[in-house]
Amino acid sequence: MSAPSWRDPRLLVGLLLVTGSVVAGSVVVGQARDTTTVWGLGRAVGAGQRLTAADLTVVEVRLDPTTAERYVPAEVPADAVLDGRAVALRGLGAGELLPRSSVGRAEELTARPVSVPVEGAVPPGVVVGSLVDVWVVPAAAGATAATDGAVPGPERLVAAAEVASVVTGGGALATRAGADAQVVVPQDALPAVLEAVASDDDLVLVPVPGSAPGGGQ
């Protein structure tokens, strides 16, 4: 049996397939090495909290040019990004890339953090960056009876408020067991929330399912 000639179509097809595989492999490897270096968060930071260089970490990721423009490049020094006055305009989770739109001045915030006392254990899912509904449950002894003699029921004061921080052990109220959760409240809801905090009524934080960083409860 004679050896195949270089003019044999089967040999030419085989060479083309091998060449194509080598070229495709080179393209894939080249794309895998084409990464962008941006700033990311080394820890969770709540809305309104001051951002410092210690909060940032360099992250190397693959991003298309359009997506990369949304994040702060690591080639810009951290001090230049934050300049001592920058705050997080929304909650940022640990490991999250730093979006340009989430860094600003305190005066740009449209809501205010309010310390809400939590009796007993903090509900699962109430963590920095998660969303909670804020409910007030009137104290039975001090509740004002309605015209029909019924005691007012629970009332939702704020829906999907962001948790900025959680301090266990009662925080500033060291004589009280439980925790203090700072919740970012829209300004139009501030009077009702502050009134509830100052009263004998109970405030309850109900986590919004799936809102905790990482999709946890």
The structural domains of the chain, with segments of one domain joined by +, span: 36-107, 110-215
Rounded Cα gap, residues 104 and 117, in angstroms: 28
Residue 20 has a pLDDT of: 66
The confidence score (pLDDT) of residue 34 equals: 73
Residue 6 pLDDT exceeds 60:
no
pLDDT tens digits, residue range 88-107?
A: 998 888 899 999 999 999 88
pLDDT beyond 80 at 7: no
Instruction: Give the separation between CA 171 and CA 92, rounded to whole angstroms.
Output: 22
pLDDT at 28: 46
Inform me whether the pLDDT recorded for 198 exceeds 70: yes
For residues 163-183, average pLDDT? 73
Contact by Cβ (8 Å): 71, 97: yes
Architecture of domain 36-107: Alpha-Beta Complex (3.90)
- Which position has the token pair 């003699």? 149
Q: What is the mean pLDDT of residues 99-117?
A: 91
Residue 193 has pLDDT above 60, yes or no: yes
Torsion angle of the four alpha carbons 189, 191, 194, 195, in this order, in degrees rounded to the nearest 10 = -120
**CB-based contacts of 172-179 (< 8 A; 24+ apart in sequence):** 172/115, 173/117, 176/117, 176/119, 177/119, 177/120, 178/117, 178/118, 178/119, 178/120, 178/121, 178/122, 179/117, 179/118, 179/122
pLDDT at 131 over 60: yes
CB 15 within 8 A of CB 54: no
pLDDT of residue 149: 59
Least confident of 52-56, 74-78, 82-86, 139-143: 139-143
- Residue range 38-58: mean pLDDT, rounded: 91
Tokens of 216: 């946890």
